[in-house]
Amino acid sequence: MAQAISETKAGSRSLGHYMQVLGPGILGAAAAIGGSHLVASTQAGAIYGWQLVGLILLVNVLKYPFFQIGARYTMAADETLIQGYDRIGRGYLYLFSVLNVVASVISTAGVAMLCGSILGLFIGDSLTVTQLSMIVLTGSLIFLLTGHYKTLDKVTKWIIVGLAIATIAAVCLALNKGGVAPADFISPSPWNLASVGFLVALMGWMPAPIELSTWNSVWLRQKKALNKNLDYQDALVDFNVGYFTSTLLALAFVALGALVLHGSGISLASSGIGFAHQLVDVYASVMGEWSRWLIASIAFLCMFSTTVTVLDGYSRAISECFVQFSQPQGSGPTGTGSRFTYPLMIAMGIISAFIIMFFKGALLAMLEFAMISAFISALVFAWLNYRLMHLSVVPERHRLGLGMRVLSWLGILFFAGFNLLFGYWYLLVK
């Protein structure tokens, strides 16, 4: 990681320059700061206090190389990760496609349900979570189908800035007040077999599923088409800003849960609107009642941008796969991947709507299923991304250094070990 950071510092460039090139990495952060942060991180702090901070940091560090490869490979090989998977073997591209088709509708349904729940704070009880989620899905599709990628690229960074400022301010105020847990409160331990399911769910979307690295790759290629001055250094800076922002906010949400909910006797609601109320209550309790609607607005915009980026990212990635299937194995970029994007968006929206109707208001159950699925598949995507950096199309100077190779293998072994532990827990302990 230190090598990657030092690479991004090379050269002297103005702040204005970087504000122009920021985009794919920030979009990735917007997609990440959804269920994993607002729900899982807050839940981790609320139940276990500060005990899982180290695990959250560890997972962010171990996933870092595989996410960074999305930017590194695209700029070095001048093609997306998807074309790289095809170079490794057409079978891997089929596997990637199948896993992404399944993950796309599950993830879209989960983030749309959370966004709809927050929307319910403004509308009241006149609509169900299912109906609110349908409004979010419809609005997201309209936003994307009318060609607002440029708007998304520009607006998302300010939404993330607003959420970051509000969250860090809330944490500082909560630290000043101190935690609400009584002095004699004994925190439950997460370090036992009974907690394995929760830990796997937490890590699955922390900071995001690894397949999101392909979104960064596809978005980056589109960004290059819009900004001819974008280079390798810019892409790494953009990625690092987005990744470290999402990591910082993950820790901030853990802190809010630990300071405001841990030991309070309040259990997190499993229903969508109930959880949304609790989330806003956390901010209002430390920042003051005046902040309630401001925070609700920022949280809604954050989740709406997450829903939009999830729809956009998955549909573009799967569309690239469909185009690649018609090309010779290992061929370079064709530039026609977008022809399936809009039909896929619509199909994803419809299938996600049916999933939401099945889960109804069970927000936490829906998100937990999506997060666990993401962790199980993390091992596959981590290994694929690592393999890409050894292909002949990657110049030697852009390949992973010793430190990043060691970190990659530690991550792969960690995911493999925890998958075995989860399998044991699911079959014999649960």
Residues 195 and 227: their CA atoms lie apart, in Å, by 47
Enumerate the H helices of 178-231 as residue ranges: 196-204, 212-226
Task: Encode pLDDT of 80-101 as tens digits.
Answer: 999 999 999 999 999 999 989 9
Residues 122 and 205: their CA atoms lie apart, in Å, by 27
Lowest mean pLDDT among 59-73, 286-300, 409-423: 286-300
Cis link prior to 190 (omega < 30° from 0)?
Answer: no
**Confidence (pLDDT) at 87:** 93
DSSP string across 69-80: HHHHHHHHHSS-
Residues 422 and 428: their CA atoms lie apart, in Å, by 10
- Return the sign of the alpha-carbon dihedral for residues 374, 376, 377, 382: positive
pTM of the model: 0.87
Q: Is 371 left (phi over 0), alpha (psi -120 to 50) or beta?
A: alpha
Q: Which CATH superfamily is domain 2-429 in?
A: Amino acid/polyamine transporter I (1.20.1740.10)
Out of 34-48, 153-167, 239-253, 290-304, the most confident range is 239-253
Task: Encode pLDDT of 66-83 as tens digits.
Answer: 999 999 999 898 889 999
Which 8-state DSSP code applies to residue 319?
H
Task: Encode pLDDT of 192-220 as tens digits.
Answer: 998 999 999 899 989 888 988 998 888 88
Q: Helices H, strands E: what count in the chain?
A: 17, 0
Q: Is 359's pLDDT higher than 90?
A: no
- In percent, the amount of the chain with pLDDT more than 70 equals 87
DSSP string across 81-109: HHHHHHHH-HHHHHHHHHHHHHHHHHHHH
User: Angle 282-200-360 (CA atoms, 0-180°, nearest 5)?
Assistant: 60
129 and 113 in contact (C-beta within 8 Å)? yes
